[in-house]
Chains A and B, each alone.
Chain A
């Protein structure tokens, strides 16, 4: 069965702390991987995506993610978080546009 699992449901960090959000997937066939962010009261925005090539992808706002095929993982990282990173983060996997989302991780950054 196709699924996405995000390990952390709620993460609380202080500003300048490093962030790593875990994402594991189960998916047959060609894998396209995404991280989306949803700021309070706003729509989902694409942070970064992986289709092929370099497994370390860089996205907007200083975020990056590493695709590790052997571990079926696509973890999101940021070296130093800011208060404005407070949001909900969704990992997703999909092909032909139909995305399967993880349950989401709520990140709260304390100033």
Chain B
């Protein structure tokens, strides 16, 4: 158990819909990262938050957004979903912005 909790574990939704993925980092970790793992793109960094502020952006689509709340949990919002958004979305937290501890992931299936 990495200490990072992601909910839900599985999500099935239709194209055009909007979903929210939730991540609770390890206790005390200020940094949260979101990654997308898909068959064609592999594992890609999406976005990083540190203590509530956005710190780095990767290959995140404009239809996607994220935020980190005062209690340090984070949410990844995916809107206008397309079939190609089907993937495993990982959250990771870090105590030092170098090591990363990954959650179990949320498997999103868009039908």
| Residues of chain A having any CB pair with chain B under 8 Å | 32, 36, 42-46, 49, 51, 90, 94-104
User: What residues of B have a CB within 8 angstroms of the CB of A96 in the complex?
Assistant: 55-56, 97-98
Please count the residue pairs between chain A and chain B whose beta carbons lie under 8 angstroms apart in the complex. Answer: 55
Find out whether the CB atom of A97 lies under 8 angstroms from the CB atom of B42: no
User: What residues of B have a CB within 8 angstroms of the CB of A103 in the complex?
Assistant: 42
Find out whether the CB atom of A49 lies under 8 angstroms from the CB atom of B102: no
Residue from B43, B45, B97 whose CB has the most chain A CB atoms within 10 Å: B43
User: What residues of B have a CB within 8 angstroms of the CB of A104 in the complex?
Assistant: 42-43
User: What residues of B have a CB within 8 angstroms of the CB of A46 in the complex?
Assistant: 99-101
13 additional contacts (CB under 8 A) given A43-B90, A94-B98, A97-B31: A42-B104, A43-B104, A43-B105, A44-B90, A44-B102, A51-B98, A97-B96, A97-B100, A98-B33, A98-B45, A98-B48, A101-B45, A103-B42
Closest 6 CB pairs of A and B: A97-B97, A44-B102, A101-B43, A43-B104, A103-B42, A43-B102
CA distance A102 to B42 in the complex (A): 8
Find out whether the CB atom of A95 lies under 8 angstroms from the CB atom of B42: no
Within 8 A of A (CB), among B1-21: 2, 4
Find out whether the CB atom of B98 lies under 8 angstroms from the CB atom of A90: no
Of all chain B residues, the one with the shortest Cβ separation from A6 is B42
**Does B84 lie at the interface of the complex (its beta carbon under 8 Å from any beta carbon of A)?**
no
B89 vs chain A, min Cβ distance (A): 12
CA distance A42 to B37 in the complex (A): 13
